[in-house]
Amino acid sequence: MSFKKLVFSGVQPTGNLHLGNYLGAIRKFVALQEQSDCIYCVVDMHAITMWQEPAELEKSTREVTAAFLASGIDPKAHIVFNQSRVMQHAELAWVFNCVARMGWLNKMTQFKDKAGKDRENASVGLFAYPNLMAADILVYRATHVPVGDDQKQHLELTREIAQKFNHDYSDRIRDLGAGVEMKSGEETVHGFFPITEPVIEGEATRVMSLRDGTKKMSKSDPSDLSRINLTDDADTIAKKIRKAKTDPQPLPSETEGLKERPDADNLVGIYAALAETTREDVLSQFGGQQFSVFKPALADLAVDKLAPIASEMRRISADQAYVDAVLKDGGERASALAEATMKDVRRIIGWLGN
């Protein structure tokens, strides 16, 4: 027996979703549905590692759900739910708090970025955040996780946690017959948790700010001009692309020529991802052209691809009862799967009562 391919990913309900979230993650979620079972989670437990106004959190949770559905995720064939409905995430996160080492978490760059200079005042949850993320994935024994490039380090930690758990409890896993043979590189190993594969690919694994091509496009950037929100209307999208930072050179004909030009590279990458092609292809079409030609073409393409999602999001959001029903149904199905894993985990660890 080996692990069945299962896709898991999560998005935080902490404000406006933007083009980076869409191209780096949500669009891949949609594509993966064709080949595999998928579980997509609105991670409201991760959200409160930083202060969230409760009413805003509710609103954002429904909005991310609406974005999933509007982008084409099928909540009947797959599972869409909000994390806090499935308490097993928190239970397994506790186990992982005891598996992961302080030294591993101390290396996490996202904690350093988010905590900033005032580390002493960051929540304990923000520090332990990657353990909860590992629990999200492993409570379903998911094998593949589509994410943007910024989550790479967290997924490496997830793999380390799975390996350490499999190793520390190896005798017990064998005795209980709870393990699975799996490939780890060249070797075949035996373990309870899979060593999850990150799925970080394509032309937009790291979409950058429209105001500064060296900074990641992010929800927390104070300038709204730095990002395209999934809810932006056509005029706003066009305006933001018109105002996007560029340099005075025309576009190069080869990707080599994008090297020291982060703003140009970013816009070409966005075009390639939206058009589902490559940077090479975009440059073979636009090489030698000025931004005065390229930007309107990019704006048209972005509006073409994003406006239907925004309008579908509005339509779905208007039916709150439907959105809530999707989350409830997904939560029930996810709970059943998570509980099956936790029954084994509790026995492996030696917790009585199961």
For residue 57, state whether it binds ligand TYM (rule: CB under 6 A): no
For residue 244, state whether it binds ligand TYM (rule: CB under 6 A): no
From CA 251, how far away is CA 246, in angstroms rounded? Answer: 10
For residue 65, state whether it binds ligand TYM (rule: CB under 6 A): no
| Residue whose CB is less far from ligand TYM, 24 or 191 | 24
- Tokens representing 289? 């052209």
Q: Can you give the three-state secondary structure of the chain, one letter per residue?
A: CCCCCEEEEEECCCCCCEHHHHHHHHHHHHHHCCCCEEEEEECHHHHCCCCCCHHHHHHHHHHHHHHHHHHCCCCCCCEEEEHHHCCHHHHHHHHHHHHCCHHHHHCCHHHHHHHCCCHHHCCHHHHHHHHHHHHHHHCCCCCEEECCHHHHHHHHHHHHHHHHHHHHCHHHHHHHCCCEEEEECCEEEEECCCCCEEECCCCCCCCECCCCCCCECCCCCCCHHHCCECCCCHHHHHHHHHCCCCCCCCCCCCHHHHCCCHHHHHHHHHHHHHCCCCHHHHHHHHCCCCHHHHHHHHHHHHHHHHHHHHHHHHHHHCCHHHHHHHHHHHHHHHHHHHHHHHHHHHHHHCCCCC
For residue 327, state whether it binds ligand TYM (rule: CB under 6 A): no
Q: Report the residue from 62, 211, 216, 305 that binds ligand TYM according to the rule CB under 6 A.
A: 216
What letters, b where the CB count within 10 A reaches 16 and e where it falls short, cover 217-227?
bbeebeeeebb
Pick out residues in 131-150 that bind ligand TYM (CB under 6 A): 133, 136-137, 145, 147-148, 150
**CB-nearest residue to ligand TYM:** 24
For residue 114, state whether it binds ligand TYM (rule: CB under 6 A): no
Binding mask 69-108 toward ligand TYM (x if CB under 6 A, else -) reads ----------------------------------------
Q: Report the residue from 43, 128, 299, 326 that binds ligand TYM according to the rule CB under 6 A.
A: 43
| Residue whose CB is less far from ligand TYM, 43 or 299 | 43
Total interface residues for ligand TYM by CB under 6 A:
25
For residue 45, state whether it binds ligand TYM (rule: CB under 6 A): no
Pick out residues in 260-279 that bind ligand TYM (CB under 6 A): none
In the complex, the smallest distance separating the C-beta of residue 141 from ligand TYM, rounded to whole angstroms, is 13
Q: Report the residue from 6, 7, 11, 162 that binds ligand TYM according to the rule CB under 6 A.
A: 11
| Residue whose CB is less far from ligand TYM, 12 or 317 | 12
| Residue whose CB is less far from ligand TYM, 141 or 154 | 154
Pick out residues in 150-209 that bind ligand TYM (CB under 6 A): 150-151, 154, 205-207
In the complex, the smallest distance separating the C-beta of residue 81 from ligand TYM, rounded to whole angstroms, is 13
Which of the following is catalytic: 5, 164, 219, 245?
219
Known catalytic residue: 4? no
Which of the following is catalytic: 5, 114, 152, 164?
114
Q: Report the residue from 6, 29, 38, 46 that binds ligand TYM according to the rule CB under 6 A.
A: 46
Short-list 91, 191, 173, 176, CA closest to 135: 91
For residue 348, state whether it binds ligand TYM (rule: CB under 6 A): no
From CA 157, how far away is CA 90, in angstroms rounded? Answer: 17
Report the interface residues with ligand TYM, using CB under 6 A.
8-12, 20-21, 24-25, 43, 46, 133, 136-137, 145, 147-148, 150-151, 154, 205-207, 216-217
